[in-house]
Amino acid sequence: MNKNLFSDNSLVFFDGAMGTMLQEKGWNSSQPPEVCNIVSPELVESVHQAYVKAGADIITANTFGANPFKMGPLGYSAEEVVRKGVAIARRAAAGRLVALDIGPLGQLMAPMGALSFNDAYENFAVQVKAGTEAGADLILIETMSDLYEAKAAVLAAKELSSLPVICTLAFQKNGRTLMGNDPLTVVTVLEALGADAIGVNCSLGPEELLPVVGKLTEHAHVPVLVQANAGLPQLIDGRVVYPLNPLSFAESAEKMVLMGVKMLGGCCGTNPEYIKALRNRLGNYQWKQPQNQRITAVASSRKTLSLEKGLHIIGQRINPAGRQDLIQALSSNEFDVLYEEALLQEQAGADILDINVYTGLTDEAETMEKAVEYIQSLTHTPLQLDSADYRALEAGARVVNGKPILNSVNGCRQAMEQIFPIARKYGACVIGMTMDEDGIPENAERRLAIAEKILDTALSYGLHKEDIIIDTIVQSAARLPGNAMETLKAVSLVKRELGLKTVLGISNISYGMKNRPSLNAAFLAMALGAGLDLVIADPASQQIAELIKTVDLLTGAAE
């Protein structure tokens, strides 16, 4: 395929609606339009040909709903419908690129419904495999109303093919998807997963979508695709009518191009005349890619947390170390106590929740997966996955509904080889511990060198600098007096020399000492002076809470 599709300065034009076009050409079956690939392929081909003639660069195969959930009950093989759809599009494309089209499965994802993440993945995998084998040039995942379902589809596409992947969601008038996903979170999660382009389609007309498009182009670092409806639907004489004419549609699309949109097409109510109007009005425009700065950020399904300003608390209480109640609960697959801890920490001001499930009594990877699914079903706070076992980190990262932090990697070659591919594949930030095969260095300069090695290795795996958070390691002041100052010096060096975010587990400083809360708070105050960005602590600690509140007041972060 054309490798410049995502990088050159030309606009890219997709096609428009398929279902309504088939109806206009005589398809009046009660069955879904994908069945037409089998019983009336000539109708599908004629629609594709009309879009080719109108000037579309991308021809979208008639495979939107060709998944096992929808095709199986009708007696059709999803694989056959997909293969036929791609073949028909290829015949009609006349040298244009062919996109395998993947839409929602038509069932609600857990916890709102019964569809598990893994079941969703397996259904999307059927479409991806069949479409790739049939010769599609790229994969278009569209009309998603649930970012979690979109993640399952993107993972299937990235794992089972080498084709470029575009993913677009359907937004409502309130600026969120049906499941509450906002544009910034969509950008954060999909880019982290490796989507080659992102965007919005369906649900609204181009004018109504402008605020959402503005948010997408304000934050995206990959091309944005918009395929709007032909206005808001109206019911006239018993028929659904889309009121926006092709010229008005193209005029609205022009505003999007000026915002930085590169890819345009049509959804419900559009036809070849709309694509022709887009091509005629915008064909000579050059794409001006927005130069958006990357930020360090984590996300749940409904909110993105920027780590660029202020101090952020990572709640440490979901950890069975020394907690018999948590050990018993995790060993019995009873997770209510985890939610109680999550809620307590949220109410106390935690920005991120650390999840550690190691007990030595269960399969840690299996327990991590269950714990993540349970906690994120009840809270919208971003998660940090905490384990010394890379398999547990991968199990959790796979099912996280958002962009998590992985805690952690270190400067040992084996650790980096295990953890960085997981972070790249599933889209995560990573905490890098400044220790290696020789242990924890005594001096700050050596810790800086390990941090630099971690950063360089992460970049070689395709991670971004902003995805790396460095922990210069707090040790007990009782055991190693004076070492605390080297830790703080290392924080300052990492900030100044590498420009990376930093994190510390504050409570380690007071291990084995009296008056631990006050010691922890005092050390945190010193760390803030060194430039600390995140702290792993108990947010319910009164001393910690009062210190952070005071700092926020003095720095203006509380406003």
CATH number of the domain residue 55 falls in: 3.20.20.330
Does any domain span residue 31? yes
Q: Are residues 384 and 511 in the same domain?
A: yes
The mean pLDDT value for 345-366 works out to 97
Does any domain span residue 1? no
**pLDDT of 559 above 60:** no
Give residue for tokens 């950890």.
319
**pLDDT of 215 above 90:** yes
Strands (E), 136-260: 138-144, 165-169, 197-201, 224-228, 234-236, 239-241
Q: What local confidence, expressed as pLDDT, does residue 2 receive?
A: 57
The C-alpha atoms of residue 385 and residue 256 are separated, in whole angstroms, by 38
Total number of domains in the chain:
2
Q: Which helix (H) or strand (E) holds 206?
A: helix 206-219
Tell me the two tokens of residue 79: 């694989």
Q: Are residues 264 and 313 in the same domain?
A: no
- Alpha helix (H) ranges present in 161-195? 183-193
Q: Are residues 479 and 368 in the same domain?
A: yes
Domain that residue 374 falls in: 297-555
Q: Are residues 402 and 542 in the same domain?
A: yes
Q: Are residues 379 and 329 in the same domain?
A: yes
**pLDDT of 481 above 90:** no
Q: Are residues 220 and 354 in the same domain?
A: no
Q: Are residues 318 and 201 in the same domain?
A: no
Does any domain span residue 456? yes
List CB contacts of 434: < 8 A, sequence separation 6 or more. Answer: 410, 411, 440, 441, 447, 448, 450, 451, 454, 470, 471, 472, 473, 490
The C-alpha atoms of residue 322 and residue 445 are separated, in whole angstroms, by 34
Cα–Cα distance list, 76 to 35, 107, 430 (Å): 8, 19, 44
Query: Position 231: which residue type?
Result: G
pLDDT digits (tens, 9 = 90+) for 229-284: 999 888 888 788 899 999 999 999 999 999 999 999 999 999 999 999 999 999 99
pLDDT digits (tens, 9 = 90+) for 457-467: 999 999 999 99
Q: What local confidence, expressed as pLDDT, does residue 237 receive?
A: 82
The mean pLDDT value for 36-65 works out to 98
Across the chain, mean pLDDT equals 96
**pLDDT of 29 above 80:** no
**pLDDT of 548 above 80:** yes
Buried b / exposed e over 126-139, threshold 16 CB at 10 Å, is bbbebbbebebbbb
Does any domain span residue 312? yes
φ and ψ of 429, to 5 deg: -80, 160
Least confident stretch, 79-93, 243-257, 489-503, 531-545: 531-545
Q: Given CA atoms 462, 463, 466, 472 in this order, what sign does their dihedral have?
A: negative
The mean pLDDT value for 208-234 works out to 97
Determine contact, residues 126/162, Cβ cutoff 8 Å. Answer: no
The mean pLDDT value for 412-417 works out to 98
Does any domain span residue 8? no
3-class SS string, 492-529? HHHHHHHCCEEEEEHHHHHCCCCCHHHHHHHHHHHHHH
Q: What local confidence, expressed as pLDDT, does residue 266 receive?
A: 99
**pLDDT of 1 above 80:** no
Q: What local confidence, expressed as pLDDT, does residue 240 receive?
A: 80
Does any domain span residue 288? no
Query: 544: domain CATH number?
Result: 3.20.20.20
Q: Are residues 480 and 530 in the same domain?
A: yes
Q: Are residues 272 and 326 in the same domain?
A: no
Q: Are residues 387 and 515 in the same domain?
A: yes
The C-alpha atoms of residue 393 and residue 356 are separated, in whole angstroms, by 10
Closest-CA residue to 189 (of 152, 147, 217, 219) = 147
**pLDDT of 430 above 60:** yes
Q: Are residues 246 and 99 in the same domain?
A: yes
Q: Are residues 534 and 504 in the same domain?
A: yes
pLDDT digits (tens, 9 = 90+) for 104-146: 999 999 999 999 999 999 999 999 999 999 999 999 999 999 9
Least confident stretch, 37-46, 162-171, 377-386, 515-524: 515-524
Q: What local confidence, expressed as pLDDT, does residue 490 receive?
A: 99
